[in-house]
Structure 1
């Protein structure tokens, strides 16, 4: 019996690629008096390159930008603080996010979220998407002292939701940090497709979040005890 669905955030619910593009363009426009000596396309492109799809924290990104572009009127720390305070304003979700969560909740499934990253920063983004109240538990790696793919963070979420691994599904975009890690603790893994990877060994694959309720419903039908 499937009782719980646990999600990743970045690249799964939050369209991070588009959010980053929106943010960095707006940052350039807001700070043009300080960074206007750099062509906008170069500033945006280099930030995205250094960001490495979120796997490098922005302190190093902005230090590199300041050095490369000879930025003298604003410090890397001030640029970082601008990122921390302003990114949430530009958060873009994947299509059908809210309707998907509503349908899962209506089907009496408990929902959780596990995300790597900085605690308050990630919570601000979750709140900005309007989805915080859908989750019975939210675990952010900085606050937990452990991050995916460590099995401990998955087990902690399962304990807080009071469900067993085989009663649970994990939805994420990363083949190792999300799918393989969840499967290693006994959960089913649903891969939210990402162009960066191919041949991901997931239990199920979705292009659109709207597909999830149907897949979970089919899983329930395969089990005698109803969901």
Structure 2
């Protein structure tokens, strides 16, 4: 029986693509005096490309933008600080995020969150989504000293939640870092993606999570 539900953050609960687009648009507008020699759409698209879905930290992204576009009035440190300070104001949740978490909590599932990234930055984003209180355990790679897809961070979360892999499900958008990694630990998995992969259950709507858990639990909703 599933007793614990664990989540990835970016691309799973946080609509990172839309959040980044909104942030970078506002950053350009705020810093227009120093960036107006670059067409806005080109600046935005180049940032998104260099960002590589969040897998390149922004000091490297801004260093390359300064080099390519000849940005002379701003340093990479200033641009990075702007990113750290303002991104949290542009965090966009996927639809049904809060109702989904509320339903799971009402059924007394233990909830966990595992995310790679900088501790304070990711906590700012989690708080911006107003979901911190729903989670029993939140593990961020920087503070844990280990990151996905290392199985240790998954097992560590399960240990803190006091559940076995078979009693848990992990939901994430990255096939290797989330789905395969959790599966290797022995967890049930749901892949938040419109793509298909043999042997992996994919979902596109957060409301599907509860449906699959109910199915795995033999049609019965879990109540501790």
Match for residue 213 of structure 2 among 195, 198, 216: 216
Q: Tell me, what secondary structure is at the counterpart of 1:92?
A: coil
TM-aligned CA deviation for residue 226 of structure 1: 7.3
TM-aligned CA deviation for residue 198 of structure 1: 4.1
Tell me the distance in 2 between the aligned counterparts of 1:201 and 1:91.
32
- The TM-score, its normalising length taken from structure 2, stands at 0.96
- The TM-score, its normalising length taken from structure 1, stands at 0.95
TM-aligned CA deviation for residue 201 of structure 1: 3.9
The 5-angstrom pairing of residues 45-64 of structure 1 reads 45-64=45-64
Q: Tell me, what secondary structure is at the counterpart of 2:217?
A: helix
TM-aligned CA deviation for residue 199 of structure 1: 2.0
Report if aligned partners of 1:149, 1:176 keep a CA contact under 8 Å in 2.
Answer: yes
Tell me the distance in 2 between the aligned counterparts of 1:83 and 1:111.
29
Report if aligned partners of 2:107, 2:223 keep a CA contact under 8 Å in 1.
Answer: no
TM-aligned CA deviation for residue 211 of structure 1: 1.1
- Cα 1:80/1:188, change in 2 over 3 Å: same
Report if aligned partners of 2:172, 2:192 keep a CA contact under 8 Å in 1.
Answer: yes
The number of residues matched between the two structures is 223
Tell me the distance in 2 between the aligned counterparts of 1:142 and 1:16.
19
Which runs of at least 4 in structure 1 moved beyond 4 Å after TM superposition?
A: none
Identify the residue that residue 73 of structure 2 maps to in structure 1: 73
Gaps of at least 5 residues in structure 1 are none
Tell me the distance in 2 between the aligned counterparts of 1:201 and 1:97.
26
C-alpha distance after superposition, 1:91-150 (max 9, x if no partner): 001000000000111111010000011111000000000001100000000110100010
Match for residue 205 of structure 1 among 197, 202, 212: 202
Gaps of at least 5 residues in structure 2 are none
Identify the residue that residue 82 of structure 2 maps to in structure 1: 82
Identify the residue that residue 36 of structure 1 maps to in structure 2: 36
| 2:137 matches 1:137 | yes
Tell me the distance in 2 between the aligned counterparts of 1:183 and 1:21.
32
RMSD between aligned alpha carbons? 1.4
Tell me the distance in 2 between the aligned counterparts of 1:17 and 1:207.
15
C-alpha distance after superposition, 1:54-90 (max 9, x if no partner): 0100000000000111001111110000000100000
Identify the residue that residue 14 of structure 1 maps to in structure 2: 14
Q: Tell me, what secondary structure is at the counterpart of 1:171?
A: strand
Q: Tell me, what secondary structure is at the counterpart of 2:9?
A: coil
The 5-angstrom pairing of residues 95-110 of structure 1 reads 95-110=95-110
Report if aligned partners of 1:117, 1:141 keep a CA contact under 8 Å in 2.
Answer: yes
- Cα 1:200/1:34, change in 2 over 3 Å: farther
The 5-angstrom pairing of residues 134-173 of structure 1 reads 134-173=134-173
Tell me the distance in 2 between the aligned counterparts of 1:79 and 1:200.
42
C-alpha distance after superposition, 1:169-201 (max 9, x if no partner): 00000111101110101100101115xx54264
Report if aligned partners of 1:220, 1:226 keep a CA contact under 8 Å in 2.
Answer: no
